[in-house]
């Protein structure tokens, strides 16, 4: 394989750290070039600072987090609550996809607790779909890229869809070996931390991430800390059985047989 490139596309600074950073870090260990992109600036993530100040603070924090993860940082494209499924954002995101030609895209769940996440997922999927369409204009203009790409959707916030239904992962990634790195990357988002227990050096922000990875680990029945993924239908993207995470991660990757069975019983 010549082109081993992965990009995490999330909505807000720190979303990658919560749901995707372990897998991104493991891909890097496996030889991938990795990229880090959040569509929104995080400008609404403060009650004390102005939008402009918060945007600047969070840009610095996200850059630091990407560096910790060893991923190339891409600047955000819009502000919080303004991730609309728009042609403007689609052109900008498709330009990034054509530039870096990822064979793995990690993005949000198509069902998630807020629209910024849902729209990020939709934009990432369509930007990937448009990679080879010569008549689709990107901004800035970029040559088409006709490479296979596999899209993976992360677990939603709270592991549930907006109608409160539990989401079952199609596969689990054992993030135990990179859990420390994931914590360090999340810690880079200093403005988002609310210290509860100074004596232990832990805060609720870090614990929330830990709780989520432990919960997904329990769902796996094998790993202690895990991230969960659902692979997007291949049509328009890659061959039916392409699973580059399985190839790259080996024993750290576990297909959820129960999920696979549920696909068959649906007649798919
Ligand atoms: Zn978010």
SS (H, E, C) 26-88: HHHHCCCEEEEEECECCCCCCCCCCHHHHHHHHHHHHHHHHHHHCCEEECCCECCCCCCCCHH
How many A from CA of 5 to the centre of ligand 1?
A: 23
How many A from CA of 146 to the centre of ligand 1?
A: 30
How many A from CA of 239 to the centre of ligand 1?
A: 31
Regions in the chain scoring below 70 on pLDDT: 1-2, 194-203, 266-268
How many A from CA of 205 to the centre of ligand 1?
A: 13
pLDDT at 196: 43
How many A from CA of 63 to the centre of ligand 1?
A: 16
How many A from CA of 86 to the centre of ligand 1?
A: 18
Q: Supply angle C-alpha 46, 51, 52, rounded to 5.
A: 125
How many A from CA of 69 to the centre of ligand 1?
A: 18
DSSP state of 197: E
Residue 151: its H or E element? strand 150-154
pLDDT at 240: 96
14 burial level (CB within 10 Å; 0-12, 13-18, 19+): buried
Residue corresponding to tokens 């596999």: 150
pLDDT at 193: 77
How many A from CA of 261 to the centre of ligand 1?
A: 31
How many A from CA of 81 to the centre of ligand 1?
A: 10
How many A from CA of 240 to the centre of ligand 1?
A: 30
How many A from CA of 223 to the centre of ligand 1?
A: 25
How many A from CA of 56 to the centre of ligand 1?
A: 17
How many A from CA of 112 to the centre of ligand 1?
A: 10
In DSSP terms, which residues pair with 104 in a beta bridge? 6, 150
């Amino acid at each position: 394989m010549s082109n081993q490139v992965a990009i995490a596309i999330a909505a807000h600074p720190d979303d990658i750290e919560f749901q995707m950073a372990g897998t991104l870090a493991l891909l890097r260990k496996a030889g991938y070039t990795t990229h880090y992109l959040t569509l929104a600036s995080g400008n609404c993530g403060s009650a004390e600072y102005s939008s402009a100040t918060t945007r600047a603070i969070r840009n610095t924090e996200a850059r630091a987090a990407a560096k910790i993860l060893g991923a190339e940082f891409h600047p955000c494209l819009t502000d919080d609550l303004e991730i609309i499924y728009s042609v403007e954002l689609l052109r900008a995101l498709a330009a990034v996809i054509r530039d870096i030609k990822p064979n793995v895209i990690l993005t949000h769940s198509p069902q998630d607790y807020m629209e910024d996440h849902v729209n990020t997922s939709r934009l990432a999927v369509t930007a990937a779909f448009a990679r080879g369409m010569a008549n689709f204009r990107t901004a800035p203009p970029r040559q088409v890229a006709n490479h296979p790409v596999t899209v993976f959707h992360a677990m939603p916030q709270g592991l549930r869809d907006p109608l409160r239904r539990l989401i079952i992962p199609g596969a689990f990634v054992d993030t135990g070996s990179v859990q420390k790195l994931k914590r360090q990357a999340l810690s880079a988002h200093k403005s988002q931390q609310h210290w509860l227990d100074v004596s232990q050096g832990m805060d609720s922000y870090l614990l929330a991430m830990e709780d989520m990875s432990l919960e997904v680990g329990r769902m796996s029945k094998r790993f202690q800390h895990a991230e969960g993924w659902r692979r997007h239908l291949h049509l328009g993207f890659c061959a039916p059985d392409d699973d580059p995470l399985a190839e790259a991660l080996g024993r750290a990757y576990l297909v959820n047989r129960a999920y696979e069975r549920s696909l068959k019983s649906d007649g798919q």
